[in-house]
Amino acid sequence: MNRPAQKRAFGVAAGLPEEVCGPLAAACEEAGYASIWANDHPLAKGLETLAEFAKAASGIELGVAVIALDRQSPDDIATDIDRLGLDPSRLWIGVGAGFTKKPLTFMTEKIGELREKLPGVRLVMAAMGPKMCALAGSSYDGAFFNWMTPEFAAGARTQVEAGAADAGHDTPPVFGYVRTAVGPDATERLAKEESFYRDLHDGYRNHFARLGEPEGTVGVAASDAADVQQKLAAYEALDVVVVRGLASARVEPMVELARAAAPA
């Protein structure tokens, strides 16, 4: 079966100022992005950022990746969707195991509750290791990669495909954040972002050890629009490249980056 044409999305950190969300969402929709995403962290809910995007762009899909289920239950997520007036049919909800000690078991057990509490929402699972990738392929509506090189993503994709094949259905879409910075300080921005995650917890420490890449090199640091397009094109294993924008949280830098990395 032939894979569908690759799509491109744009992603930000949750809590982006409201005055930036509207112009950025409108610019992304105009530029042809398929969806716009926010992460989720203890200081800001990604769904609240999506609600700001939704006010300014009615046609673009909305995603959050990822919500840690050890911090927010499926009931909590459903309550927030209702409170914020978000249309479930527009949503991609990425979920992860957070700091649970047995993530594979935890995420296997959670899918039934997620389906029950979030009807009509497409559920994407954060996956890095082989077993989690296979579970995403077998039981969820998509897999979501993070901090991968193009080569590592290609290998991880095969595990998603294997999980789907074992379950007897087509491979669900594979998404991935690709941290992206453009301009004279791009290398420094990427290195700063990466250094935070490299030592965040054992899961990330083990993941970066498996990658075996020099610090500050996992992602895209580009000089200009032509350079960023060439480097993003290397992520052939992803069905949706989510450009995670590394720029100042102001309208002009964010929109400029979104336009530089926009789909052709």
- The DSSP annotation for 187-199 comes to HHHHHHHHHHHHT
Cα separation, 248 vs 17, whole angstroms? 11
Which residues face 33 on adjacent strands? Answer: none
Q: What pLDDT is recorded for position 200?
A: 87
Chain mean position to CA 82 = 22
DSSP designation for 32: T
pLDDT mean by block of 10 residues, the chain; 264 residues: 91 98 98 98 97 97 98 98 98 96 97 98 97 98 98 98 98 98 98 94 90 96 98 98 98 98 95
Q: Is residue 203 part of a domain?
A: no
Encoded amino acid at 51, one letter: A
pLDDT in tens, 164-180: 999 999 999 999 999 99
Domain that holds residue 175: 7-186+221-260
Do the domain assignments include residue 35?
yes
- Is position 192 within any domain? no
Give the CATH number, domain containing residue 86.
3.20.20.30
Specify the pLDDT at position 243: 98
Residue type for position 168: G
* Residue at 1 is within a domain: no
Helix pair 251-260, 225-232: axis angle to 10 deg: 60
Does 34 map to a domain?
A: yes
- Cα separation, 202 vs 230, in Å, equals 32
Give the pLDDT of residue 1.
Answer: 59
193 is a domain residue = no
Count the domains in the chain. Answer: 1
Decide: pTM greater than 0.95.
yes
Does a structural domain hold residue 197? no
Instruction: Give the pLDDT confidence score for residue 202 in this predicted structure.
Output: 85
